[in-house]
Amino acid sequence: MEAKAQLRYARMSPMKARRVVDLIRGKSTGEALNTLRHAPQAASEPVLKLVESAIANARVKAEQAGERFDERELVVATAFVDEGPTMKRFQPRAQGRAFQIKKRTSHVTVVVADAKK
């Protein structure tokens, strides 16, 4: 049983989000949730909600298929961050110049699966 959850257009840079996602890849879901709850990075909160959503999706898929579900047997099979669209803004600088600010977005994907497979 495999379940997926996606977070699209998250207002965090992909590089910062990847630091958090790299912490949980391959871990059991309980361990991943515990790691994310105590991680100091700001990106850990949206990723925590995403992992919880993937677990809930797995529960729903198991109920629909009539299979037994145990959250402790799930593992974060794959987790990756793709770059979303970048919003470009301008900040005024000295002597009439303009400085470009790039507000980056991310698409985060988490897949949880049974540990046996």
**Extended beta strands in the chain, E state:** 2-10, 74-83, 87-92, 98-103, 106-114
- Which domains does the chain show, CATH number per domain? 2-114 (3.90.470.10)
pLDDT tens sequence for the chain (117 residues): 899 999 999 999 999 999 999 999 999 999 999 999 999 999 999 999 999 999 999 999 999 999 998 989 999 999 999 999 999 999 999 999 999 999 999 999 999 999 875
pLDDT number for residue 58 = 95
pLDDT number for residue 117 = 55
Q: How far apart are CA 92 and CA 37, in angstroms?
A: 38
pLDDT number for residue 116 = 75
Q: Are 47 and 17 in contact (CB under 8 A)?
A: yes
